[in-house]
């Protein structure tokens, strides 16, 4: 994504980019965000446990412990607190 942003910057062009790459991108020149917050751009992340029946080597207890932490209040706060350049990168929405 970085090289694509560089190309767009050099051509004064539009590009669809993820927030993390944009916030880390230093060669912005005249570029700016044109559209954000539209539900059509919603990019949901999720976490699932690999099926230990199909993959016996999976550390099921450790995986479940991680999942439980990610969806906990503490995990959701840690995700919300992650920032690049002072700007929030992720917006957690796990339901209790």
Residue 1 · residue 21 · CB < 8 Å: yes
User: What tens digit of pLDDT does each residue of 16-46 get?
Assistant: 998 889 999 988 888 999 999 899 988 889 9
Confidence of residue 61 (pLDDT cuts 50, 70, 90): very high
What is the predicted pLDDT for the residue at 95?
85
Dist CA 87 CA 25 (whole Å):
13
What is the predicted pLDDT for the residue at 65?
98
CATH among 3.90.650.10, 3.40.640.10, 3.50.50.60, 3.40.190.10 for 44-96: 3.40.190.10
Please choose, from the candidates 63, 27, 69, the residue with its C-alpha nearest in 3D space to the C-alpha of residue 48.
Answer: 63
pLDDT beyond 90 at 80: yes
- Residue spans of the domains in the chain: they are 1-38, 44-96
């Amino acid at each position: 994504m970085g090289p694509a942003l560089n190309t767009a910057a050099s051509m004064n062009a539009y590009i669809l980019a993820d927030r993390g790459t944009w916030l880390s991108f230093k060669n912005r020149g005249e570029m700016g965000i044109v559209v954000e917050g539209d539900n059509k751009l919603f990019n949901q992340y999720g976490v699932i446990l690999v099926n230990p029946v199909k993959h016996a080597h999976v550390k099921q207890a450790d995986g479940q412990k991680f999942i439980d932490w990610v969806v906990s209040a503490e995990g959701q706060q840690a995700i919300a607190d992650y920032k690049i350049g002072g700007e929030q990168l992720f917006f957690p929405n796990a339901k209790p």
